[in-house]
Amino acid sequence: MINFLPTYKKDMNQLGWNKLDIIIITGDAYIDHPAFGPILISRFLKAKGFKVGIISQPDCKTNSDFLELGRPRLFFGISAGNMDSMVNLYTAQKKLRSEDAYSPGGKTKLRPNRTTIVYTQKVRTLFKNVPVVLGGIEASLRRIPHYDYWSNKLRNSILFDSKADILVYGMGEKPVLEIAKRLAAGEQIDELNNIRGTVVISKNNSTKEQLPEFSNSFSRKDFIKQHKIFENHFRKKVLSQKFGNRFLIHNPPSHPLSQREMDEIYNLPFTREPHPMYRGKKIPAFLQIRNSVTSHRGCFGGCSFCAIGLHQGKTIQSRSRDSIIKELKEIIRKEYFKGTISDIGGPTANMYEMNCKLNISETCQRNSCLFPSICPQLDYSHKEQKKLLSSASELQGIKHIFVSSGIRFDLALYDKEYIQQLAEHHVSGLLKLAPEHKSEKVLKLMCKPSFDLYEKFRQYFSTYCKKIGKEQYIAPYIIAGHPGATLQDTIELAIYLKKNNIKLKQIQEFTPTPMTVSTYMYYTGTDMEGNKINIPKGREIRLMKALLQWFVPDNKKLVIETLRKAHRPELLSFFLD
């Protein structure tokens, strides 16, 4: 398997490697594709001259998987994979999911609960004195004390809970490379306490900006104080937090990658295939992304429920058109490619090549460049994305290019030509948009644009589709149960859906994930100004979801219960006829 990174001792032998420098352990199946973070990091480190191996989804009940590649010279890198393991394994109702999209055959239970902690403890037992570096979304969003929905309590930083040496947060290329170089040069792991994009534990503290001490008596008041200090300072200052006789040291984020650096990473020799060890078993996540291309990273939307800004950052880091075209040509040559590119995008597709005119997005205190209004210093031109889509569409072998990673309709309204280009060439019948709710009160808590802007976009898009003779529709994404929402707010949204005959197959239920503003509201029961808000839970959320899917026969009794509970019996015939 010489085109893949080593996963077995025999692979190392084929490469003539007696010992690996770094071993990356991931909770996902090994798919050699840039959309999978641990693999991207592994390819990047190999390109920098390090001998890197992969252990994917090891069986924690035995030692053999962990021992297969031996003892690394520099460190173990541990990641739960592309998702937080608890979100991956459980629904918002805390029930075990029926499928794991990142596992062969969609099989569940191939990773343990709290994967990062379990893998680290296993490595600590088997390999004494080998440095352990944490990375990935699970570690990134649990890097400071946080509310954990699954245990319904505050948990300490995952760095303390796992007993690892250092935590890399964010996308991680720069800090993990610096760690590897400094360890290779002979430095000790406990000397690496000043690397941007990392969190470490220290016995000493000279940091002026301190978070409240974490202990068994850490209260809601402490949590609120921690959140506000962190939000105000984490982008620019080193933060510290006392725990017992040690300190958690949180360094500022790593600097964003330049376009040249982005191109270098995404041009690495990925096979774009699952490892042959899976013997052709379907891996749902791979099927979803195999014909898609990442054009950029980051998001300046600042939605309250979203963690992208805390992980990838606000700064948009875009690849060049040439780099993206090169990757498209690689896809065209694949046996599985049938002419359709499913997506060219990022967290928000139409933020490609958008940037801050003052070049201060790294340190600006605004969490969102779009809410409550678009920042006057934001360059929100769609010019480069329109060029990218046009250039890609001209490639021989491509029949269709769709944009399916979502767009910001409030930005798109500033460029009607972009909306027209989408409607004519890049929508597969349904355009996914995320108004998330209709209530202005709830949207404000979500830091989402007014529903009026969604309606403006919908009307323009629909009118233009009719003009060009295309039958295309918008599929809205809705969140039920967000902090601050009430049954009355949900009724308002349901009335809109019913009047417009929009029958949503899926309703996203709000799930509190670590470090987001929405999770802060869920745990504290207040908005960011300290005002008490409704926190939907249990039966109330079930009623909300049922009303938003009034057309499902099994929901009839719940719809009746909802309307009576909300004192709106006059709507019974409206929803049930």
The answer to whether position 152 is within a domain reads yes
- pLDDT of 577: 81
Domain boundary among 186, 211, 245: 186
Q: Could you state, in chain order, the average pLDDT of each consecutive group of 10 residues for the chain (577 residues)?
A: 88 96 98 98 98 98 97 98 97 96 97 98 97 98 98 97 98 97 97 97 91 95 96 95 97 97 98 95 97 97 94 96 98 96 96 95 91 95 97 97 94 97 95 96 98 97 97 95 97 96 94 97 96 97 97 96 95 93
> Which domain covers residue 556, as residue numbers?
470-577
DSSP designation for 424: H
Domain boundary among 144, 167, 186: 186
Identify whether 372 is preceded by a cis peptide bond (ω within 30 of 0): yes
Give the whole-angstrom CA distance, residue 111 versus residue 103: 9
- pLDDT of 406: 87
Tell me how far apart the terminal alpha carbons of the chain are, to the nearest angstrom.
61
The answer to whether position 331 is within a domain reads no
The answer to whether position 333 is within a domain reads no
Contact of 479 with 409, CB cutoff 8 Å? no
Please state the domain count of the chain: 2
The residue to which tokens 């042959």 are assigned: 276
Q: What is the CATH number of the domain that holds 35?
A: 3.40.50.280
- pLDDT of 2: 63
Give the whole-angstrom CA distance, residue 520 versus residue 113: 23
- pLDDT of 485: 98
The answer to whether position 379 is within a domain reads no
The residue to which tokens 């949204």 are assigned: 493
Domain boundary among 186, 219, 249: 186
DSSP designation for 532: B
The answer to whether position 390 is within a domain reads no
Structure tokens that stand for 567 in this block: 């004192």
Identify whether 145 is preceded by a cis peptide bond (ω within 30 of 0): no
Q: 173: closest CA among 272, 266, 41?
A: 41
The answer to whether position 384 is within a domain reads no
The answer to whether position 231 is within a domain reads no
The answer to whether position 162 is within a domain reads yes
**Stated pTM of the model:** 0.95
Sequence-ordered list of residues with C-beta below 8 angstroms from that of 240, at least 6 positions apart, any chain: 205, 207, 209, 210, 211, 247, 248, 249, 250
Question: What 3-state class would DSSP assign to 88?
Answer: helix
